Amino acid sequence: MSDNHEMPRSERPAVAAPPDLRARYDTDAGTYVTSRIYAFSTEGYPLVLGLDNRLVRPEVAQPKMNYVGIHTPFGPPIAGPFTPAPKGLLAVFSDGREQPVLFYDVHGRAVLMDPDDVTCDLVLAEMVADTARVEFRPVTGDVAPD
Q: What is the pLDDT of residues 20-29, one digit of tens each?
A: 778 899 888 8
Q: In the chain, what are the domain boundaries?
A: 9-70, 83-136
Q: Which amino acid is at 79?
A: A
- Spell out where 27-97 has E strands: 32-41, 46-49, 55-56, 66-70, 83-84, 89-93
Range 29-48 average pLDDT: 86
Q: Which residue has the higher pLDDT, 144 or 117?
A: 117
The answer to which of 19-23, 56-60, 93-97 has the lowest mean pLDDT is 19-23
pLDDT of residue 115: 67
Range 29-56 average pLDDT: 86
pLDDT of residue 1: 40
pLDDT of residue 34: 92
Q: Looking at 8-108, list the stretches that DSSP marks H as alpha helix, in order from N- to C-terminal side.
A: 58-61
Q: Which of 11, 7, 8, 38 minimizes the C-alpha distance to 23? A: 38
pLDDT of residue 62: 84
Q: Is the pLDDT of residue 141 over 70?
A: no
Q: Which residue has the higher pLDDT, 49 or 20?
A: 49
Q: Is the pLDDT of residue 94 over 70?
A: yes
Dihedral sign computed on CA atoms, order 124, 127, 128, 130: positive
